[in-house]
Structure 1
Amino acid sequence: MRAEVPTSAPDDRRSRPTFLNSNRRQVILFAVLTLLLSFATVWGGRIWLRNSETLTFAVGESSGPEAHFAARLAAMLKATSSRLHIKIIRNADNAKALAQFDHKQADLAVLRTDARIPPRARSLAILEHDLLMLISPGDKKIRSLAELKKKKIALLTNGNNLAFVRNVLEIPDKADANARLQLAPLNSMVDKLFASGGYGAVIAVDHASAIVRDKRFEQSARRAPFTVNAIDEATALSRRYPGMSEETLATGLLSSSPQIPDDDIDTVGLQWLLVGQAALAANTAGELARTIYENKAELALDDGFASKIEPADVDKSAFVAAHQGVAEYINDTSRSFLDRYSDLLYLSVAVLGVIGSLFATLYTKVTRVAPEKAGELATEILDIGERVAHVQTSEALDGLQDELESVLRGAVIGLRDGTISSDGLDTFKLGYEFVRDEIGMRRESLKRQSGRDDVVIVKTAQSA
């Protein structure tokens, strides 16, 4: 009697499209999510930074030009929808405002170059020039400052410029010097000072923008001519007093008819600077400077202050060094794309690496469908081997042989496409060789058993 050993159904597990597609879809999905989240993170951070920066501006008394300029700057930034905002911190005077700036309690301040310059102050823009004008009556010219030592001088300016004039004239701060240098009322006319005060010279100090708008000089010149004298010692004075600068009085600055001065002449002056903390971010300082330079008209005060805003002096020898961000903006003529956006690119790479690492960890540890180990297929092979001993026909043995080859074929395909790992491959090979040899031995056994059966049948027939 021949026993038939049923063969198992074909193993559909070898075709693993679900397995492969699942992992491949996950890899593609995580790659796309990495790019999207990196882009969203960097862009969101950039937007957040662009909309969240407030600069504190320390100013002096509310009626001063510093406070008025700060208010104009705040209004202009708001009107232009800038990401920068100004918070004004008011003080009793500008000296206290500069002290506050010096203690890092404010980001911005306005100072004149004869003030004590905080060591961390960096120039953002030149707001105004104060010019010194040496005036003599009629056509009398003053050849040098030494000629003024024996003259009575009227000072046509406010008291804040007294120390500046003393430095120019090298007059010590003594009581006897006050008789020579007398502070005249602010609204005094030059011709009346010469006519009634017995002055040999008048020194006027004012903002350049105010001088252009002041019609009193032209009115005085029409009644009684006067001369504005060049200061030949301007270069020496600017070197002796670092905060002092060489300036030029342009032709016709004081009066167009008659023309005073009748030619460009040299003089000395002081500068009003908008300064920021050295620690202010370069892109912030550069953006603020750019916005100021592009919106000068909106920042000019009613009295003319800051009507001729100039870029900060980026020369290394400047009395107050320009902020790095401002210098980069002013000198920015050929920066490449990488130079402009290197910080953003570096940030993007860093964010991409972090998010990519997180998703890679999530995929490998949690969501990835792990491939079947080759060693686990040995159980299936041994199951085939256990059935070999019960096979009674060559046809059934051929079925087991085909089943064994099917397992081998599936293992090879799985190792190729990644659905089966090489873990336990030696065990699989050993099991395959053992069952293959067992099938071979069982086949030989069946052949010998079949031969004996034929002999018995022949002998029985002969006996009959």
Structure 2
Amino acid sequence: MTDGPHPAEAALPPPSPRSARRRLAFVMLAGVLAIIGVAAAGYHIATRPVTLRIAVGPANSDDLKVVQALTQALNNQPHGPIRLRPTQTDSAQASAKLLGDGKADLAIIRGDLDVPKNAQAVATLRKNVAVLWVPPASKAKAKGKKAAPAITKITQLGGHRVGVVGRTEANVNLLKVILQQYGLDPAKVEIVQFPVTEAVEAIRNQKADVYLAAGPLNSKITSDAIAASMRDGGTPTFLAIDSAEAIAQNHPAYESSEIPAGTFGGAPAKPEEEVKTISFSHHIVARKGVSDSTIAIFTRQLFAIRQTLKNEFPLAAKIETPDTDKDANIPAHPGAAAFVDGEEKTFFERYSDFIWWGLMGLSAMGSAGAWFAGYLKKDERIASNSQRDRLLDLLTAARNCDSGEELDQMQTEADGILRHMLECFEHGAVEEGALTTFNIALEQFHNAVADRKALLMSMPQNLQRASAQFRAAGA
């Protein structure tokens, strides 16, 4: 009776580690492709152009012209990170409402109107000054009529008609602020508004006694309106707002300002001397929810483009940085403030958190990959242990074998086990210590086979047959 398995009952051929290697290679390739895909997607999202909706109005206004020029300049940049999409409105007030309702990312608003709570300043587009003037008296007077007293002060406006250039209600509110500062009841002043397109004709036809216009110092609308009021060689009288500081104190949206002599033409100069007045600003504001990095990039591009556009489009030269003080009338957007203060973040500073988490993710994926690789090699380790046990069984069988052919079969099987163990060792499924133990067992097996073959060759043939029959009968 044999002590071990018969060679004919040898185990099936050991599984090849190639399938495990293929699985591991596939998993590693999939992981690398996933990492590359995530990195590419992240880079695309971080660098793709951002389109900002900007509300501006009314039609044919200086604000709209500036925004159109900026839009063309930004959108024509091949790899520019910011694009603009203008939305035309009826007025600056309507633009502010769109921003407040979250339907615009940027807007051009007047600082003396109600500013949306979610608006933050990006830049000062331009400053407007209030101009109050009285046309020169006509020399053609009816005989026997006494000339009306000349208006030289704002306090004399009671009972007179004041023509306001422009249909916006904001200019009427500006006039009322001035009147109230001087103790005049706006109800006792007849206010007449003229559309910009009709202002020159209305002034020529003497539709009012005094006129108010609000715009930049170099405003063509204001200059044309003043020129239309001149007649019989006389020059207009400009009314100084001597209480400009008090108005600015009571209404933070306004500032004390001056109209330099000769601003509206010379010979004779209009005005002949510097005139004190108040001013207010038109602002580019951003919605509070727009990211700091996006607004910082837009602000940087805005001032870079301003330098290139100011020669062809002089209004662009009026753009100024926002007031970054904490007590500013309109708080500066953090992105714009970062640009102004030189604290704009670099690409790595903006995305440092994502990069850090990405590295952590890669580390975690590496650990998971190592675990999975070990898991895939688990079958190889089990197979190698099975082959080692099989070799020990062959060792026992070889010591009791009575057939040289069976010993040769055992030797062939042992060679196959050796090949499998070496492949497992090459792929890390078998450690060096385990391979050393296997080599000892393999050496013992070879010695047992050699000894058994030598014994069988020294025995007579009849004795070998008898021994085999005896063992078969005992089995």
TM over 0.5: yes
| 1:388 corresponds to 2:386 | no
Q: Distance in 2 between matches of 1:109 and 1:334?
A: 22
Whether 2:302 is the aligned partner of 1:289: answer no
Change (3 A) 1:379 1:263: farther
8 Å Cα contact 1:122/1:322 also seen in 2: yes
Is the 1:34–1:359 contact (alpha carbons within 8 Å) kept by the matching residues of 2? Answer: no
The change in CA–CA distance for 1:297 and 1:332 in structure 2 (over 3 A counts) is closer
In the TM superposition, residue 319 of structure 1 has moved relative to its aligned partner by: 1.1
Q: When the two structures are superposed, what TM-score results if normalisation uses the length of structure 2?
A: 0.63
C-alpha spacing 1:342/1:67, structure 2 compared with 1 (3 Å): same
- Tell me if structure 1 keeps the 8 A contact 2:247–2:254: yes
Change in 2 beyond 3 A, CA 1:259/1:89 = closer
8 A Cα contact 1:37 1:355, kept in partner = no
Give the Å deviation of 1:304.
Answer: 6.2
| 2:109 paired residue among 91, 108, 111 | 111
1:406-454 CA-partner distances (Å, limit 9, x unpaired): x99x98997898331699x8xx89x97xx89x98xx99xx9xxxxxxxx
Q: 1:337 to 1:94 in 2, by over 3 A?
A: closer
Distance in 1, Cα, partners of 2:311 & 2:178: 29
- 1:102 maps to 100
- Give percent identity, aligned residues only: 18
Q: Give me the whole-angstrom Cα distance separating, in 2, the residues matched to 1:90 and 1:189.
A: 28
1:69–1:301 CA contact under 8 A, matched in 2? no
Q: How far apart, CA to CA, are the structure 2 residues paired with 1:264 and 1:341?
A: 53
Q: Structure 1 residues 384, 235: CA separation in 2 closer, same or farther (over 3 Å shift)?
A: farther
Query: Do the aligned residues in 2 keep the contact of 1:98 with 1:111 (CA within 8 Å)?
Result: yes
Contact 1:19 1:419 in 2 (8 A): no
What is residue 44 of structure 1 aligned with on the other side? 44
Q: For residues 115 and 345 of structure 1, what CA distance do their matches in structure 2 show? A: 43
| Aligned 1:345-364 pairs, distance under 5 A | 345-346=355-356, 348-349=358-359, 352=362, 363=373
Question: 2:52 corresponds to which residue?
Answer: 55
Stretches of structure 1 that go unaligned for 5 or more consecutive residues are 1-6, 8-12, 139-145, 447-464
Distance 2:238 2:370 in 1: 79
Structure 1's 414 and 105: CA in aligned 2 closer, same or farther, altered over 3 A?
closer
User: For residues 334 and 104 of structure 1, what CA distance do their matches in structure 2 show?
Assistant: 25
The 1:205/1:155 distance shift into structure 2, 3 A limit, reads: farther
Asked whether the 8 Å contact 1:124–1:275 carries over to 2, the reply is yes
How many residue pairs get matched? 411
Say yes or no: does 1:80 pair with 2:77: yes
Match of 1:208 among 193, 212, 217: 217
Q: Which amino acid aligns with 1:111?
A: I
How far did residue 271 of structure 1 move? 0.9
What's the secondary structure of 2:52's corresponding residue?
Answer: strand
Partner of 2:200: 187
The equivalent residue for 1:149 is: 155
3-state secondary structure, aligned to 1:268: strand
Residue 247 (structure 1) shift = 3.2
Per the alignment, do residues 173 and 277 of structure 1 end up closer, same or farther by CA in structure 2, a change over 3 Å counting? farther
**Which residue in 2 is equivalent to 1:326?**
336
Query: Is residue 245 from structure 1 mapped to residue 251 from structure 2 by the alignment?
Result: no
Q: What are the Cα deviations for residues 25-76 of structure 1, in whole angstroms up to 9, with x where unaligned? A: 78986786566444423323335x43xx333333444344454444444333
Deviation at 1:164, TM superposition (A): 0.5
Q: For residue 132 of structure 1, what is the amino acid of its counterpart?
A: A
1:271 aligns with 2:281: yes
Question: In the alignment, residue 381 of structure 1 is paired with which amino acid?
Answer: L
What is the deviation of 1:372? 2.3
Q: Distance in 1 between matches of 2:297 and 2:344?
A: 17
**Contact conserved, 2:257 with 2:278, CA < 8 A, in 1?**
yes
- For the 8 Å contact 2:335–2:344, the answer to whether it is kept is no
Deviation at residue 236 of structure 1 after TM alignment: 2.7
- Give the superposition deviation at 1:17: 11
Paired residue for 1:419? 429
- In the alignment, does 2:349 pair up with 1:339? yes
Contact 1:154–1:183 (Cα < 8 Å) also in 2: no
Residues 338 and 213 (structure 1 numbering): CA distance in 2 closer, same or farther, change over 3 Å? Answer: same
The answer on whether the counterparts of 1:131 and 1:269 sit within 8 Å (CA) in structure 2 is yes
